[in-house]
Amino acid sequence: MHFTINGNRHEAEPDIRTSLLDVLRDHAGLPGTKKGCDHGQCGACTVLVNGRRINSCLTLAVMHQDDEIVTIEGLASGDALHPMQAAFIRHDGFQCGFCTPGQICSAVAMLDEVKAGWASHVSDSLDDITLNDDEISERMSGNLCRCSAYPNIVDAIREVAGA
């Protein structure tokens, strides 16, 4: 099977039942995406597929051979961090760091969703979405942080959203 991951072509021959998460970690050598619950409940394995966030533990790798897959490693450009990665560092948006790759990938996609005008359950308006703390919390609710760094995560997202 062939995959485009972080702009690079990767070849792998996993069992057809292998998750995208396991291909990323075990076959492509990209350990940044974490295996948390392995049931799609924590968001630690969040990656971007064709610009949309997904839980990579819940999807089969074979389904994504022709897709553009971006992991936490692919957000940076060389030594230059993605603005969201830099904001997480500035705002100490992590403690143990285990959920951080999924949080950052989810936050990047979430801001793209807002720019596209996608409403959430708590959006006050379908025409003008205000990215307040409630909106950010709702949109990031699929990503758990067991260390409870949520206020700092929200601050980092708010900074990048305002830039």
- Check pLDDT > 80 for residue 116: yes
Give the span between the Cα atoms of 129 and 25, in whole angstroms.
Answer: 36
Please tell me the predicted confidence (pLDDT) of residue 126: 83
SS3 48: strand
Residue 127 pLDDT > 90: no
pLDDT digit string, tens, across residues 80-113: 999 999 999 999 998 899 999 999 999 999 999 9
- pLDDT bracket for residue 11 (50, 70, 90): very high
The answer on pLDDT for 34 being more than 80 is yes
Mean pLDDT for the chain? 95
Q: Is the pLDDT of residue 163 over 90?
A: no
Q: pLDDT band for 129, please (50, 70, 90 cuts).
A: confident
Bridge partner list, 55: 46
Between CA 108 and CA 100 the distance in angstroms is: 12
Specify the residue for token string 């006050």.
Answer: 124
The dihedral sign for the CA sequence 6, 30, 157, 108: positive
Higher pLDDT, 163 or 15: 15
What pLDDT does residue 151 have?
A: 94
